[in-house]
Structure 1
Amino acid sequence: MFSKERGNISLRRLARDQAGNTMVMAAAAMLPIIGILGGGLDIGRVYIAKSRMQQACDAAVLAARGSMSGIQWKTENQQKGLEFFHTNFPSGKYGTQNIDVALNGQSDGSVVATASGSIPMTLMRVFGFTQMPLNVTCKAELQLPNTDVMFVLDTTGSMADPNPGDADSRIVAMRAAVLSFFDTLENARTSGAVVRYGFVPYSESVNVGLLLKRDWMVDYWTYQSREPDGTTITPGKSTTSPTQTYNTAVVWQSGTIETIKSNLPLEDCVAPANAMTINTTVNVGSVRKTPYTNSQGVTGEQTEQDKKRTRNGSTYSVSISGGKCVLTETRYNMYIDTWTVVTIPEPVTTTTGDTTNYWWKYKPVTFDVRPLKGDLANGLMKGGSITATLNNNHASRTVAWTGCIEERDTVTGTDYTGALDMDIDLVPNPSDPRTQWRPAMPKLVYARTSMTAYSLPEVRTTSNYQNVGDYMSGTYGVCPWTASKLGTITTRSALNTYLGKLTPSGQTYHDIGLIWGARLLSPTGIFASENAVASNGGSISRHMIFMTDGQTDTEVNHYDAYGWPALDRRRSAGLQTKDQQDATVAARTEAICTAAKSKGITLWVIAFGTELTEMLSDCATPGRAYEATNAAELNATFAQIASKIAQLRITD
């Protein structure tokens, strides 16, 4: 045992021994230092790894969403997103382990992803922390700001045809594609954003009349028409023929006959030339004569001559039924039939009464169109009809206005400086008819001698020349379905109902569709009070989508937005050929495209089932022209445009 005194000495000696004591204390102090340094190092690695993983996740959902068509999620979209993730965050980066990525599309068109993994610790292992988990989430979706979209849609006759390989017609495919576009934008619309849609169906004119204020329409307008110019009387008379002739029933002898029906576009409703290789009628045998006593007791001779007809080849005819042009081919295969021509000595007396001859002057005639204006409280055109003395017996005829318009004053040539019709924003002056629009009324318009004779001098005659609006069931003066101003669409079914009313008919005049698409969309024109700013006070992104299935295709004897070109000749100094008029309208189309883009409008162009020509490509805003050869491609194109109009953003 140690004594108490000796023990006290040992403790005092230990207290004075600094070397050993310092080592123990230093070792104890190292543990918190290692914790601080190791924690900072490892936490820094975790932070960097998680930041890079988040960036890779964001890139993945952006890439996946950007590759989608509309809101349809496909395997290739998922693959695209995963490729971007692994490119930006390769396996083992920063020593990470067990990386797992889940990436999926949602019903609203958004794409969400989660990524997880772990990262091993270094110095923190001393404290029992071997690894730290990594978890990130991300989401990409289209967000649509205040947006106006104006559709300029080709509804010409060729839209009734299907593209090769498609079961449905082009117009059916167009309706489906527009609905898909609507779905995409509506899913991308952010809360509070105002999205409006407008439509301009076009062919030979546009149906915008009832969208206009009545002060913007003329009170009187001149049409190539006719007016009564008195009557004369031709006295009646009696004539007597000593004989009567009639044919017996036709009897088939040999050969076959076949009738084949098919449809033609309404704008091409013309029968091809007959293709008969044999078409002969010959007498068979000699004339047979027999005694015949007529009703007056006079005896004479009845004669009979047999006939034989041989036909081989085809004849063609067209008719319009149910809004369609029906081509009928009658195909003869060495078809032989016979009949007999009989003449009897039976006198026939024909007596006619006095005939009233109705004289007409075919010339430009000015009509009072004020009844179409009405007196609606909102100041808009009311529509309706006017009465005009046009019937063949000088009686009045009620002529309805369907809503299409004739354009205001224009110029000839390609210097459009003074062309009021091509001024997008000019508001009509009620006291200046040059600046106002005019009701399109093809049933007031008459040809001068025929639909293919274009003589300007007035004609005085008793003949009833062709009414242009009545010709070929109205297919030479087509008015498409009513245009729609920009407005919100509350339901998909409402849009579907509107699209269902678009029917194909008429020729292709791109210029008139585009100028009115621009007018209805412009923030500084006739609808500036509605278009300048959104209803929520915010700015507006403006887009025009121009879809056509063909190149410019006009006719000089079709009534269009510039009257009856065969006689009115407002776009040219003289009568043009079809090719010349096509070139005139194409040049105007190019000028209107440029003017629309200068208004800050993004112009998208889709060539559907037709070539994306240089003219169509140049019409579009750069990088905004597309070609779709079938219904599936059209649907994908509309969806792609919708995705580009909406703004792709990371939202989580």
Structure 2
Amino acid sequence: MRRDSRGNTLAMAGAALVPIAGMIGSGLDMSRAYMAQAKLQNACDAAALGARREMTGAVFDASARIEGERFFDFNFPSTTMNAQNVTRTVTQSTTDDTTVVVTASADIPTSVMALFGKDFIPISIQCEANQDYGNNDIMVVLDVTGSMNSSPSGGGASKISRLRTGALGLYRALAGVTNTRTRYGIVPYSMNVNVGGLLRNRDILRDSYYPKCNSWDWRGRCNGYGLSAVHITASQWNDGGNTGNSLSAFRQSGNACVEERPTIGNSFNNGDFDIEPTVSQADIDDIAINGSDQERQYGRWDPNENEYDDDGWCPSPATRLQTYGSESAYQTAINDATAVVAGNTYHDLGLIWAARLLSSNGINASRNPTTFNGIPVAKHIVFLTDGDLVPTSSNYSSYGNYNFDRRITGSGGQESRHIARFLSACSAAKSMGMTIWVIALDLGSTGEIEPCATSSGHFFVSDGSDLEQVFERIGAGIGRLRLTQ
């Protein structure tokens, strides 16, 4: 070859093919290994999030582990990249019992590198997931109409009894978390809401107007009705033993349901006023400026003063946002809120008052800060009902007597007007940054209430048997999942 160098290049190129093939082959094998590791990472993340979502509070049990393994196996099947010796472990962190730790490993077979004695490339990964609870204000809105006393279509215990035990799932899902604050308020609703005890004297009309008989026939029957004002004083006093003749006594009575006020911008004409089927933020947040601000004041629901029709029910009192130190304390609050179960269904009342009590403006501006300890407060409404909106034409509700007062305006019948008002209130609450979760309890048709939910993922259907699990899933959703490693 020294004497004749022709063709040397070919020989050298041939000799170089072996190391070049090794380098290219190892690059291909390493590329496959990196792809496998990316898939392994995705499976690890899914397993950690799935297991953490399955946990209730800080309780890690077999169901959480199995759920994590199921997510891993779905995202990294045994045939992935011909992986060998695949392992995955889903456990609870030893340093933080609210954290799930997942470790995984596999051996990825090589192609070209096997020629050089490297049969597998080992890969491994670790990831963690936690529940980012932050601060949460949650208004629980509960349908306590008469149908809740009946059993669901599948039979068994009544819907109200299932609600009382099932609602505890929400508390359990968010319990045991440190360095955060979670508050709950409860709004039981039917044809009225009992919120007078949460208002100020100036928020309630001094002169409430009720239908009164203004003439009688010879048989002692009413011949015609008119509106008559009943005046009460602001301070508590005793009028012949009738302490109900004061605003303070009314608010402290425990039976302080109120009549809805006019839509903001509409006038109050001695009890004759209009309530629109649309709800604005002003309708939620505006409050009375003084004791004479009638257009922003609520009337007293008083069947004793209403001669036209004294039928109707006042639910148990609603409660403001507050913390509960134990399951038993929260359970007692739920039981108290659902003590009165009767009346017709006005979804719009429950939703509007939940928004009023949850808002950081209006009647609770000083109680509902937007941040707590420097961390933002997330606002949630959990709305449960077992029935369609069914207004009443004759009974006395927070909207007065439909046949006499006709306060709800708009096109269509009374029911369609209230449905429009309900959905408008949902939209207003969502525009104010509130997340709405909706539970349809043993309800055949859900088209009336499902649009109220923030998204399809915030809407749940329950037959009553799984109600506690549904509340737990909502609690898990309120505590946002996040990967921490």
Q: Same fold (TM over 0.5)?
A: yes
Q: Check whether the contact 2:39–2:75 (CA below 8 A) recurs between aligned residues.
A: no
Query: Residue 485 of structure 1: SS of its match in structure 2?
Result: strand
Q: Does 1:428 align with 2:261?
A: no
Residue deviations 1:132-152, cap 9 Å, x none? 987654332322112211111
TM-score, scaled to structure 1 = 0.57
Q: Relative to 1, partners in 2 of residues 1:361 and 1:618: Cα closer, same or farther, differing over 3 Å?
A: closer
Aligned length: 431
User: Does the C-alpha gap of structure 1 residues 570 and 592 become closer, same or farther in structure 2, counting only changes over 3 Å?
Assistant: same
Per-residue CA deviation, residues 334-385 of structure 1 (Å, 9 max, x unaligned), is xxxxxxxxxxxxxxxxxxxxxxx9x9996433222225x549xxxxxxxx94
Q: 1:80 aligns with which of 42, 66, 70?
A: 70
Quick check: 1:534–1:540 contact (8 Å CA) kept in 2? Answer: yes
Residues in 2 aligned to 1:55 and 1:428: alpha-carbon distance in whole angstroms: 55
Task: Tell me the distance in 2 between the aligned counterparts of 1:216 and 1:563.
Answer: 18
Bigger proportion of residues as strand: 1
Q: Whole-Å Cα distance in 2 between the matches of residues 520 and 83 of structure 1?
A: 45
TM-superposed deviation, 1:197: 1.4
Structure-2 change in CA distance of 1:632 and 1:68 (3 Å): farther
**C-alpha displacement of 1:179:** 0.8
Given candidates 158, 161, 177, the residue that maps to 1:169 is 158
Contact 1:184 1:639 in 2 (8 A): yes
1:60 match? 47
Cα distance in structure 1, aligned partners of 2:52 and 2:316: 36
Q: Which amino acid aligns with 1:407?
A: E
The aligned residue for residue 209 of structure 1 is 196
Q: For 1:369-380, what aligned pairs fall within 5 Å after superposition?
A: 369-370=232-233, 374=236
Query: Structure 2: how far apart are the matches of 1:374 and 1:59?
Result: 61
Deviation at residue 207 of structure 1 after TM alignment:
0.9
The residue matched to 2:229 in structure 1 has which SS?
A: strand
1:65 deviates by 3.6
Please give the alpha-carbon distance, in whole angstroms, between the structure 2 residues aligned to 1:118 and 1:614.
Answer: 51
| 2:175 alignment counterpart | 186
Distance 1:641 1:420, change over 3 A: closer
1:529 paired residue among 335, 345, 366: 366
**Structure 2: tracts of 5 or more residues without a match:** 1-22, 111-117, 247-251, 267-272
SS in 2 for 1:644: helix
Residues 161 and 170 of structure 1 are in contact (CA less than 8 Å); yes or no, is this contact kept in structure 2?
yes
CA distance in 1, matches of 2:424, 2:342: 25
Distance 1:54-1:621 versus aligned 2 partners, 3 A rule: closer
Instruction: Determine the structure 2 residue equivalent to 1:142.
Output: 131
Matches of 1:567 and 1:147 in 2, distance apart? 42
Q: Which residue of 2 aligns with 1:485?
A: 320
Q: What does residue range 449-468 of structure 1 map to in structure 2 within 5 Å?
A: 468=310
Shift of 1:54: 5.2
How far residue 606 of structure 1 moved from its aligned partner, in angstroms, is 1.7
Tell me the alpha carbon deviations over residues 189-244 of structure 1, each in whole angstroms, 9 at most, x when there is no partner: 4x322222111110011111111122212222222246999xxxxxxxxxxxxxxx
**What letter matches 1:86 in structure 2?**
F
CA gap of 1:631–1:110, structure 2 versus 1, over 3 A, is farther
Q: What is the distance in 2 between the residues matched to 1:360 and 1:616?
A: 41
Partner of 2:392: 555
TM-score (norm 2): 0.75
Determine which of 368, 380, 384 is the counterpart of 2:231: 368
Q: Which structure has the bigger radius of gyration? A: 1
Rounded Cα–Cα distance in structure 1 between residues aligned with 2:213 and 2:137: 45
Are residues 63 and 627 of structure 1, via their aligned partners in 2, closer, same or farther at CA, if it must alter by over 3 Å?
closer
User: Deviation string for 1:261-297 (max 9, x for gaps)?
Assistant: xxxxxxxxxxxxxxxxxxxxxxxxxxxxxxxxxxxxx
Tell me what 2:144 maps to: 155
Aligned AA for 2:141? Answer: V
Give the gaps of 5 or more residues in structure 1. 1-36, 122-128, 230-356, 376-383, 389-398, 452-467, 469-475
**1: distance between equivalents of 2:387 and 2:419?**
12
1:386 aligns with 2:249: no
Q: Which residue of 406, 409, 413 corresponds with 2:262?
A: 409
Q: Secondary structure at the match of 2:147?
A: helix
**2-structure distance, mates of 1:54, 1:213:** 56
Contact 1:385/1:401 (<8 A) preserved:
no
User: Identity rate of aligned residues, in percent?
Assistant: 32
Residue 303 of structure 2 is aligned to residue 442 of structure 1: yes
Partner of residue 519 from structure 1, selected from 348, 356, 363 = 356
**Within 5 A, what are the aligned runs for 1:634-645?**
634-645=467-478
- What's the CA shift for 1:627? 4.4
**Are residues 553 and 108 of structure 1, via their aligned partners in 2, closer, same or farther at CA, if it must alter by over 3 Å?**
farther
State the shift of 1:618 in Å.
1.8
RMSD: 4.4
* Higher helix proportion (structure 1 or 2): 2
Deviation per CA, 1:119-163: give whole Å up to 9, x if none. Answer: 899xxxxxxx99998765433232211221111111111111111
